[in-house]
Amino acid sequence: MIAGGDSSTEIIEEILVVGWGAVGILFGYILHRSGKCRLTVVARSNYEAAKNGQIIISSHLYGRVTDFKPERVCRTVADAADRQYAFVVVTTKALPDVLPTPTLLGPLLSHSYTHPPPTYVILQNGLGVETDLYNKLTEMKQPTSPGIITTAVYCVANLVDNIMEHPANVPKLELGLFRPSGEAIDDGDASLKLASFKGMVEAGGGDGVVTDDIQAVKFRKNIWNAAFAPLSCFTRVPPAFYTATPALWERVVPLLRETAEEVVAVGRALGYSEQHLPSNVVDGFLDWHLATFKNVGSKHQPSTVLDIEANKPFEVEAIVGEVVRAGRRLAIPILRMETIYTMLSVMQARNLKSR
């Protein structure tokens, strides 16, 4: 779609957001604010609230937003697969053991979808979250360049009772092209796609950083998700409570540090250098935790905790399982991560059985 006059012609991109949880709503709103796209969203469990504009955004950065409504709301991907999209943004939880991404996006990956293929943008925590989709695109002989943009997502947000709470500062995406080899590829079309999506994020009030080392960036970001967040999964206390007293923080820090160091050891064995995983990376996460959750207050929970409490599937395989499998393959001793993986796997099995 073209907008503007002769002197300021601008392309308005069609974008599909699959998943209307906290991350989908926050970045969907950012894309909407850019004025550079028309937004279709797939909202499964909260379809009626999304369709009727009943989702409220309460943001430290953007204020209280009560009138945000995407241009189009669909209940399923099949309903949305009636047009061409420049970007399909996947913001659902990465659940390869429950709903693999190619299954989720099935109608867009079928031969009955005759529109030109979109660029897929993966806004999911965890490692290896792009592989299934890449393999499916390759199997279909669809162009995989610039087929997949993957990201490290930095935002503190929860969705509870149709209120999306965003108590922290500017949401940030680090973006890069997914390549199975991890090697940077000089591809003009891909660079244009990256620049276009980054530009929309920034125009909407977010922060976007393009990197050639996206897998290393995602691994580094996964340290907090894999080593810090599980403590809240097991105790049900918010991360801010770890710092409730100096004595409690002093008790908690050794466990967090030693667990995070196991993840770092796996990263080193995978070949991530000092540049990617500096020697002070764990100290950096401890400092970040103190600074971030001191400002956030006591209510914010990792989304995994909310999923566990709601008896929903959660991201154990992508966040923890991938680290453990790599550690086993490389013969790295990771007793704490093995323990976390076992305990979370039991909780996942319980949630799946209760569905």
pLDDT tens, residue by residue, 98-118? 999 999 999 999 999 999 999
Q: Is the predicted pLDDT of residue 156 greater than 80, yes or no?
A: yes
What is the C-alpha to C-alpha distance for residues 284 and 224, in angstroms, rounded to an integer? 10
Whether 194 and 221 share a structural domain? no
In this structure, are 222 and 185 located in the same domain? no
Least confident of 145-159, 195-209, 276-290, 341-355: 145-159
132: domain CATH number?
3.40.50.720
**Contacts with 51 (C-beta within 8 Å, 6 or more apart), sequence order:** 43, 73
Domain that holds residue 278: 217-353
Number of domains composing the chain: 2
pLDDT category of residue 334 using cuts at 50, 70 and 90: very high
> 0.85 exceeded by the pTM?
yes
Residue 150 pLDDT = 96
Give me the pLDDT at residue 3, please. 45
Tally of CB atoms within 10 A around 189: 11
C-beta of residue 80 within 8 angstroms of C-beta of residue 42: yes
Look over the chain and give the mean of its residue pLDDT values, rounded to a whole number. Answer: 92
Of 166, 196, 212, the residue at which a domain comes to its end is 212
DSSP state of 274: T
266 and 237 fall within a common domain: yes
Task: State residue 11's pLDDT score.
Answer: 82
**Angle formed by the axes of helices 214-227 and 281-296, to 10°?**
60
In this structure, the answer to whether residues 149 and 67 fall within a common structural domain is: yes
Predicted confidence (pLDDT) at residue 294 exceeds the cutoff of 90: no
246-269 helix and 281-296 helix, angle to the nearest 10 degrees: 140
Contact between 248 and 242 (Cβ < 8 Å) = yes
Phi-psi region of 63 (alpha: psi -120 to 50; beta: other; left: phi over 0): left
Cβ(80)–Cβ(111) under 8 Å?
A: no
Residues 35 and 173 placed together within one structural domain of the fold: yes
CB burial of residue 350 (10 Å; 0-12, 13-18, 19+) = exposed
**Domain match, 262 and 208 both:** no
Contacts of 334 (CB under 8 A, 6+ apart): 262, 263, 265, 266, 323, 324, 327
Residue 163 has pLDDT above 50, yes or no: yes
Per-residue pLDDT tens digits for 78-96: 999 999 999 999 999 999 9
Q: Same structural domain for residues 56 and 196?
A: yes
DSSP state of 117: P
Longest dimension (CA), the chain: 65
Residues 127 and 254 in one domain: no
**Last residue in a domain, options 212, 235, 259:** 212
Task: Tell me the CA distances in angstroms from 17 to 32, 119, 196, 202, 337, one per residue in order.
Answer: 11, 12, 16, 17, 33
Cα angle, residue 212 at apex, residues 206 and 218 outer, rounded to 5° = 65
Tell whether 198 and 327 lie within a shared domain. no
Say if residue 166 is in the same domain as residue 181: yes
Phi, psi (deg, nearest 5) at residue 253: -55, -45
Q: Does 171 share its domain with 235?
A: no
CATH code of the domain covering residue 328: 1.10.1040.10
Query: In 10 A of CB 71, how many CB atoms?
Result: 12
pLDDT band at 189 (very low <50, low <70, confident <90, very high): confident
Q: What is the pLDDT of residue 190?
A: 76
Co-location of 109 and 237 in the same domain: no
State yes or no: pLDDT of 231 exceeds 70: yes
